[in-house]
Amino acid sequence: MIVLGIETSCDETGVALYDSEKGLLADVLYSQVKMHAEYGGVVPELASRDHVRKLLPLIKEVMQRADLTANQVDAIAYTAGPGLIGALMVGASTGRSLAMAWGVPAIGVHHMEGHLLAPMLEENPPEFPFVALLVSGGHTQLVKVTAIGEYHLLGESLDDAAGEAFDKAAKMLGLDYPGGPLIARLAEQGDRTRFRFPRPMTDRPGLDFSFSGLKTFTLNTIAKHTQDGVLDQQTQADIAAAFEEAVVETLAIKCRRALQETGLKQLIIAGGVSANRRLRERLDAVVTKEKASLFYARPEFCTDNGAMIAYAGCQRLLAGQSSGLVIEAKPRWSMELLGSINDAVESVGEKA
């Protein structure tokens, strides 16, 4: 089965073609980062308009790269949520319309399920069951994964997601948007021992996260060391390093706790923050101590992309699921509401 995947949940337009027998055939991605950087964050209306402008040309491009025609595509998968409602509607309406025109089924895919399954696109994918850390600009969750669609939420952020905290800390330090990669780059020049930032909610049982207090601590530290309105470059780098270290260690402590509580020996990390080099190093140490294994996607598949949507959609389509004629767009959508890939359901959309 060849599936066309469409991702338009936020500020990246991703399109890919996935073959259930041959694997990923082609993928293309357009990022709106430069446009939104001017405003210090994503502007939903601008994001939606840019998806309208870019989506059809990208679909044509990915078809040309794979040397395929419309009659060779067996199904279409599009991101149905969660995300920005306007952006979601662009991908959903385009995907559903193309499916109708081409006479093939379509399915709305959960954005975070796409991220969770992205490591399956690698040469050495994990096997079920495993613990997944989903960590991005909008989500920080620990999930026990028994099979596709069989998800048990172990813990989540009670306020900001880790990626969002990175962006806000970067703004405090005078860095551009998106701040996560810039914090990581600046942290490489910093002294990680100069400042000791708190590791939120690690001194109590449970697997939930909270990063709002860490942001406040960062703001107070910046204010304390700013003289005449200026924060010197080395102190800026030291604060970035301390902030990154606090977030990474907090995530690592909770991941180790999740492995111990579930007894599982496989950990995957997915989402934009999973590309952070320091996080990968720290989790490598955790799985070594726990005699477990760590899995993650290649960097280009950590951020939003069409390949993960094509893959996730393909698995559900192969199981006989589809979304019927409905155009699905759900800005808020719990992953625990998804049906198992093993369930005999006619429509994910009708069940949700």
167 is in an annotated binding site: yes
191 is in an annotated binding site: no
138 is in an annotated binding site: yes
5 is in an annotated binding site: no
Cα–Cα distance for residue pair 195/214, rounded to 1 Å: 13
Q: Which residues pair with 28 in a beta bridge?
A: 15
Cα torsion 66, 270, 309, 21: sign: positive
276 is in an annotated binding site: yes
- pLDDT tens series, the chain, 352 aa: 999 999 999 999 999 999 999 999 999 999 999 999 888 889 999 999 999 999 999 999 999 999 999 999 999 999 999 999 999 999 999 999 999 999 999 999 999 999 999 999 999 999 999 999 999 888 899 999 999 999 999 999 999 899 999 999 999 999 998 888 999 999 999 999 999 999 999 999 999 999 999 999 999 999 999 998 899 999 999 999 999 999 999 999 999 999 999 999 999 999 999 999 999 999 999 999 999 999 999 999 999 999 999 999 999 999 999 998 889 899 999 888 898 887 744 343 443 3
Contact between residue 289 and residue 256 where contact means Cβ atoms under 8 Å apart: yes
3 state SS of 291? coil
Q: Which residues pair with 142 in a beta bridge?
A: 133, 155
124 is in an annotated binding site: no
3 state SS of 270? strand
Cα–Cα distance for residue pair 302/168, rounded to 1 Å: 20
Nearest to 340 by CA among 324, 351, 328: 351
271 is in an annotated binding site: no
Cα–Cα distance for residue pair 33/296, rounded to 1 Å: 23
Question: Distance between alpha carbon 276 and the CA centroid of its chain, in Å?
Answer: 13
304 is in an annotated binding site: yes
The 10s digit of each residue's pLDDT in 54-103 is: 999 999 999 999 999 999 999 999 999 999 999 999 999 999 999 999 99
* Residue that has been written with the tokens 């579930």 in this structure: 262
333: its two tokens: 């959508």
Cα–Cα distance for residue pair 142/253, rounded to 1 Å: 12
Q: What's the residue count for the chain?
A: 352
3 state SS of 146? strand
135 is in an annotated binding site: yes
The 10s digit of each residue's pLDDT in 138-185 is: 889 999 999 999 999 999 999 989 999 999 999 999 999 888 899 999
* Residue that has been written with the tokens 């860490």 in this structure: 214
272 is in an annotated binding site: no
343 is in an annotated binding site: no
Q: What is the pTM of this model?
A: 0.92
